[in-house]
Amino acid sequence: MSSSTIMNIFRFILLLALQVIIFSRLNLFGFLNPYPYILFILLYPVNGNKAGLLLSSFLLGLMVDMFTDSGGVHATACVTLAYLRPTFFKFSFGLSYEYQTVKINERLSPERFSFILISIVTHHLILYLLEVFKFSGILLVLTRTLFTTIFTLILSIIIIYLIKPGKQ
Amino acid sequence: MQQIFNFLFKNSILLLFLLLLGVSLTLTIQSHSYHRSRAVTSANAISGYVYEQVNTVEEYLSLKEQNEALAGENARLKKMLFNTQDTVNAPEVKIPLAMGQFAVIQSKVIRNSYSAPENYFTINSGIKEGIKPDMGVVSSLGVVGIVENVSNGYATVLSVLNPKFELNAKIKKNNHFGTLTWNGKNTGFAQLIDVPRLATVRKGDTIVTGAESRIFPENIPIGTIDKVYMDKKTNYYTLEVRLFNDMTSLGHVYIIENKDRDEIIKLEEETTNSNNEQ
């Protein structure tokens, strides 16, 4: 096993544990729960195995669903985000992203910020659409997506800076 | 044949994505459709263990409130005991009759949820302790939910704060029945719908469980009336009920088993079937 595989497994377990033990129980202002566990999908190596990313994202979402009794909403949102990730890379970093060594856990540039933001918005929008699951709740979906996105974004950036590898 | 393989190989990522999306969407839609339809629940050894560990730490933070709630309940029970008319003779005759139908199992909430549109919480007793699906869950203050999925050592409970939760409830004062539901808006309030118009309702009246419920005993407290609406279409009252329980902090709970439940359901089914045949 290469070191990046081990790093990924470690990240998977750590982010899942943080999510279910701390972040899913925060209930800030009575309804706000951030979901920074999707950092696993964002930090997955750019040139890594695509099937591996899809499968591990599905598993990650399913585990969060299991812990929070939410059916399959996290699994759906995670799989979709994992599938759309290359598109978001292209959108944020330009067409030739695969030939550069893009590492999003380095200095926060506008490209990296837009990539993180668009990923979080996509994930949260799918998540709340499926969780509320009725057309009359569309306003609820939008407000929750907005507030949770802000919260997740701040936490994600903090976490990226905290777990940044020491070697420079 | 070669072309089919080529196609599959070229689009393997898309096909894998569609497969996983199909599986997860099925799980989602299933969970929204009916009772006890979720395939993945937190009633299992892994999440149960994690939540139990987290709960042992969290418990220390709320020890004082838990103790006060239990002491308050003790005081209420003592008051009932001291006020029975003849404390020597009465219980011998009455208690076995009244208690015979219901069994009570003590348990503890290890994970609570109240901010989602559909809420479930997890308790730390399961099949081992005799918990079965569709048992009632009450706290010292009143109704909190109905058991949904059960594993060996844990169970998930359909919270009052879930649109799937429906309970026969009545106004204590005049015995008018309605159905208790939740509209998904406020964690402190539930709604009592379909209350007949001729019922006299006033703000502050107490709502308790009704006799029609096959899950809960009669007269378990639920809340008080906070607002009264008239449904224009049906001419029934909709009552906003302020819950006695603070659903955002649950600790010790009691699981109620109605031993006659199966018998009642069987009897009712037989009756409706024979009516249909006529």
Domain positions in chain A are 3-162
On whether both B137 and B59 belong to a single domain, the answer is: yes
Say which residues have a Cβ less than 8 Å from residue B234's Cβ, sequence separation at least 6: B194
Quick check: is B123 in a domain? yes
In the three-class reduction of DSSP (H, G, I as helix; E, B as strand; rest coil), residue A105 is classed as coil
Q: H or E element: which one contains B82?
A: helix B63-82
CB < 8 Å to A131, chain B: 116-118
Quick check: is B27 in a domain? no
The CATH code of the domain that includes B143 is: 2.40.10.340
Cα separations in angstroms, B191 against A128, B157, B185? 24, 19, 10
Quick check: is B25 in a domain? no
Q: What is the ipTM of this complex?
A: 0.87
Give residue A55's pLDDT band: very low, low, confident or very high (50, 70, 90): very high
Cβ contact, residue pair A32, B115, below 8 Å: yes
List the single residue in A with minimal CA-CA distance to B57.
Answer: A21
CA dihedral B179, B184, B185, B190 (to 10 degrees): 20
CB < 8 Å to A130, chain B: 28
H-type helices in chain A, by residue range? 3-21, 39-43, 50-68, 73-93, 110-132, 138-162
pLDDT in tens, B94-119: 444 445 678 888 999 999 988 888 89
List the single residue in B with minimal CA-CA distance to A49.
Answer: B13
Shortest CA gap A96–chain B (Å):
20
pLDDT in tens, A63-103: 999 999 888 899 999 999 999 999 998 888 877 766 655 56
Cα separations in angstroms, B111 against B30, B193, B196? 23, 29, 37
Quick check: is B220 in a domain? yes
On whether both B64 and B155 belong to a single domain, the answer is: yes
On whether both B130 and B183 belong to a single domain, the answer is: no
For residue A164, what pLDDT is reported? 67
For the record, the structure tokens of B179 come out as: 């159905």
Q: Which of B224, B131, B119, B233 is nearest to B169 (CA)?
A: B224
The CATH code of the domain that includes B176 is: 2.40.10.350
CB B252 within 8 A of CB B105: no
On whether both B120 and B140 belong to a single domain, the answer is: yes
For residue B92, what pLDDT is reported? 47
Shortest CA gap A100–chain B (Å):
22
Cβ contact, residue pair A75, B24, below 8 Å: yes
Quick check: is B36 in a domain? no
pLDDT in tens, A7-52: 889 989 999 999 999 898 888 887 789 999 999 999 888 888 889 9
Query: What domain range includes position B65?
Result: 45-162+250-259
Shortest CA gap B271–chain A (Å):
36
- Residue B21 has its nearest CB partner, among A68, A76, A131, at A76
On whether both B57 and B141 belong to a single domain, the answer is: yes
Cα angle B243, B261, B90 (rounded to 5 degrees) comes to: 75
On whether both B224 and B189 belong to a single domain, the answer is: yes
Quick check: is B59 in a domain? yes
Counting as low any pLDDT under 70, the low residues of chain B are 35-37, 84-100, 276-278
On whether both B53 and B186 belong to a single domain, the answer is: no
